[in-house]
Amino acid sequence: MSQSSPSQTPQIKSRLSAILRATSGNFLEQFDFFLFGFYAPLIAKAFFPSDNETAALLNTFGVFWLGALMRPVGAIVLGAYIDRIGRRQGLIVTLGIMAVGTVIIAFCPSYATIGIAAPVIVLIGRLLQGFSAGVELGGVSVYLAEIATPGNRGFYTSFQSASQQVAIFVAAIVGYLLNESMPAETIASWGWRIPFFIGCLIIPFIFLLRRTLEETPAFLAMKKHPTASEVFASAIANWRIVILGMMIAILTTTTFYFVTVYTPTFGKTVLKLSTQDALLVTLLVAVTNFIWNPVGGALSDRIGRKPVLLTIATLSFLTAYPALHWLVAAPTFGKMLAVEMMFSFYFGVYSGTMLGCLVEIVPAHVRTTCFSLAFALAAALFGTFTPFVATWLIDKTGDKASPCYWLMFGATLGIIAALTVYRGGQAIKQREAVAA
């Protein structure tokens, strides 16, 4: 045992380092995504002025969603690039595009300064971020899966999602300190930009980490790397797997955006809790999300993906309605924390399992493209649409607990997809490679 330890220790350190470098870009992506949701009311006033507060908020979340619609485009275009050129180079390119979008939003003048150009510029920034984010999660997940040790693929890929929670934690800390140190009027005027500026300052450091990534052995071992046209053709041929993957991912995306991006707005504007309370809940959610993701991945490595996916999806469907109705009946910090902790558990365990599932059911030679497309569709059509849908449902129904129906819908699709993918106890077979 003592003889093997010296050789094992460098390998462990090397893998930990690779996980850190690969997931660093997720920090920037999620840091900005969370800030956009948390400061949505202030962004609405700065770029989408309106006499109707709900209309301005819907416009802001609408831009948030339009950016997400670029995810499938990015998944196909950048996914094909990564499957052809390599994981390392592709992840550097996606980071560069994401950085440009972040800088644009941080420095864009307000509507009062440049008029209609302001929301147009913000939209461009969001479109660039969405284009990049379309393949960021898939590219990182595939990279982690391809460097995973045998029998631990779920555990390794879970750190893609777990890493994003660090960004939410840091963003919540920054927001909390900002609210404690600056008057509300100052934050509303220009102070909300400070966290975005901090994101810009982080960019060079993340670039340094990404540049030191090594290519995965699995990609280097491929005898032939498909051309862009071959990747596109194969993605179309495997449309059924992509759709099922999307359905499995929907519960992850809807729950995640509900407990992170939408929670601060929900706590402040709907439940009428303080900004500090909403931030503290979000901060604690980020901590538990980080913990539950690797737990879910490791658990699915031991007992299988199907039982974990089905159990969590069923629990989410059964408890979303009573939990939210209990919360909105008499909102308190403690009740909001309890409900968010429940959803955090669902998200973390399910997400940690779902990532390993998607990597395994898509064809290896177009793994990044198909994985990214499945998740991008889930995020664009459902996940990042969550804040908009939640705001719209509450406004139209008058029921503050109505967002539960959106979460229940995601759970239903997850159950159907998991039963289809793992019918007979075995995952559906991957399709053969499609020749150009």
Residue 137's pLDDT band (boundaries 50, 70, 90)? Answer: confident
- Give the span between the Cα atoms of 340 and 428, in whole angstroms: 34
Predicted confidence (pLDDT) at residue 297 exceeds the cutoff of 50: yes
**Span 93-116, average pLDDT:** 86
Q: In the chain, what percentage of residues exceed pLDDT 90?
A: 29
Predicted confidence (pLDDT) at residue 99 exceeds the cutoff of 50: yes
Whole-number pLDDT of residue 64: 67
Range of weakest confidence among 108-122, 215-229, 284-298: 215-229
**Span 244-255, average pLDDT:** 95
Whole-number pLDDT of residue 7: 41
| pTM for the full predicted model | 0.80
Whole-number pLDDT of residue 37: 65
Check: CB of residue 21 under 8 Å from CB of residue 95: no
Predicted confidence (pLDDT) at residue 155 exceeds the cutoff of 90: yes
- CA end-to-end span of the chain: 51
Q: How long, in residues, is the chain?
A: 436
Burial 329-365 (b: 16+ CB within 10 A, else e): eebebebbbebbebbbbbbbbbbbbbbbbbbbbbbbb
Inter-axis angle of helices 153-181 and 333-361, to 10 degrees?
150
Whole-number pLDDT of residue 62: 72
Residues 6 or more apart from 406 whose CB is under 8 A from it? Answer: 254, 258, 386, 389, 390, 393
Whole-number pLDDT of residue 374: 93
* Residue range 196-213, pLDDT digits in tens: 888 888 888 888 888 877
Which fold, 14-425? Growth Hormone; Chain: A; (1.20.1250)
The mean of the pLDDT values for the chain is 83
Whole-number pLDDT of residue 413: 97
Whole-number pLDDT of residue 164: 83
Predicted confidence (pLDDT) at residue 5 exceeds the cutoff of 70: no
Choice between 266 and 264, residue whose per-residue pLDDT is larger: 266
Q: In the chain, what percentage of residues exceed pLDDT 70?
A: 90
Residues 6 or more apart from 285 whose CB is under 8 A from it? Answer: 168, 259, 260, 263, 340, 341, 344
Check: CB of residue 242 under 8 Å from CB of residue 232: no
Residue 275's pLDDT band (boundaries 50, 70, 90)? Answer: confident
Cα 104–chain centre separation: 21
Predicted confidence (pLDDT) at residue 175 exceeds the cutoff of 90: no
Choice between 424 and 356, residue whose per-residue pLDDT is larger: 356
Residue 214 DSSP label: P
- Give the span between the Cα atoms of 43 and 420, in whole angstroms: 42
> Is residue 400 classed as helix, strand or coil in its secondary structure?
coil
- Give the span between the Cα atoms of 340 and 406, in whole angstroms: 16
Predicted confidence (pLDDT) at residue 100 exceeds the cutoff of 70: yes
Residue 410's pLDDT band (boundaries 50, 70, 90)? Answer: very high
- Give the span between the Cα atoms of 158 and 139, in whole angstroms: 13
